Amino acid sequence: MYPMLKEGVSVGTFNHEDSETTRYYMENADGDTFEISRRLCDALLDADGTKPLDLPDKGRSILPVLKKRGIVRTSRFVRDEGIFNRFILFPISNKLQNGSLACKAINAVLPVVSVLIFVIGVYRMLSGGVKIGSDFNWWIYYVFFAASLALHEAGHLIAGLACRYIISDTGILLLGILPIGAYVAYEEREDAEKLEKIQFSLAGIEVNLLLAGVCLLTAMQYEPLSSTLLSTACVNVILAGLNLLPVSGLDGEAALSALCEVNSISETAKKWLFNKKRRKKLLHSGLPGYARLCGFAFIFLSKMLLWLFIGFEVTSAFFAVILP
């Protein structure tokens, strides 16, 4: 991979008090600051992982120094805090950061089109329009499942670019070295509107609903793959439902936090549930207080629901392997 700036790195200009000459600097995530040339500053500002550094010899001579000082990375494997890591599949070019017209158009119609196609697909299925074939193709199913995960993140990517979020890369989320999902690394605009934040959070879910509807409608037209397509539709509905849970790190929590204009609705729920004074305040504020308390309780318990589902799926897969 070509060089790209690490998270937390700053590149910019400064002036000494007794001079009007513009100088250039780079600062790593640890706060170490280094004065640099204008050409290197411009090259670093353009370092997005999609092309070599715009320097003599394509920056090969300076690259070891930049890596040692924690300014750039060239490895696709990224170590995060704790047991979670990332593998970068696609660095996002700086040219796309302002949002293309295509991304804006897709993002604008996605909420309506996804729900409409999903509702039509469910209606046609319930009205008896699907003839289920007897053959189930596991290989095609796994390809469709992987595509569903990738397109879920593509929905976030398109929404982020349409809303002019700063998106650095997208790739695979790892538990140690085991792939457990996908991600889009982004930096939210400080002046982003509430609806933009909500749409960015829900875009992946909308894509899952769209895929579920497309699978249902396609299953009616092609019977040999109907059972495989129906299973894929069910998986996309499950993915959408799980991501709607208000659990920290999931899309539902991000959307609800944006709606309530708080940093984290799950953290807010904990504060109100486990603080005696706040609980009493809710209990003494009538029906609205009881409703808020129930909502906070559901938010807190939703994490348990998620882990119960994961445990059920892991147990089911285990017995499916060991039992004939």
Pairwise CA distance, residues 205 & 110, whole Å: 10
pTM of the model: 0.82
pLDDT of residue 53: 93
Which parts of 15-140 are beta strand (E)?
A: 23-27, 33-36, 72-73, 77-79, 84-91
The pLDDT value recorded for residue 133 is: 63
pLDDT tens for the chain, 324 residues long, are: 899 999 889 999 998 877 788 999 999 999 999 999 999 999 999 999 999 999 989 989 999 999 999 999 999 998 877 778 899 989 988 887 776 788 899 999 999 999 999 999 999 888 876 666 667 888 888 899 889 988 999 999 999 999 888 888 999 888 887 777 788 888 888 788 999 999 999 999 999 999 999 999 998 888 788 889 999 999 999 999 999 999 888 899 999 999 999 999 999 999 998 988 888 888 888 898 899 999 999 999 998 888 887 777 667 656 655 655
pLDDT value at position 95?
80
From residue 294, alpha-carbon distances to 250, 254, 273, 305 in Å are 20, 19, 10, 16
Enclosing H/E stretch for 8: none
- Best CA proximity match to 160, nearest among 196, 134, 126: 196
Q: What is the largest CA-CA distance in the chain?
A: 82
- d(C-alpha 266, C-alpha 249), whole Å: 10
pLDDT of 227 reads 87
CA distance 307 to 309: 5
Q: 132 φ, ψ to 5°?
A: -80, 125
Tokens of 9: 């790195």
> Residues 6 or more apart from 185 whose CB is under 8 A from it?
7, 86, 167, 168, 169, 170, 171
Model pLDDT, residue 179: 79
Q: Cα dist. 264→3, 132, 153, 254, 269 in Å?
A: 33, 43, 21, 7, 9
Give the DSSP per-residue string, 114-165: HHHHHHHHHHHHHTT-----S---HHHHHHHHHHHHHHHHHHHHHHHHHTT-
Compute how many other C-beta atoms are within 10 angstroms of the C-beta atom of residue 287.
Answer: 7
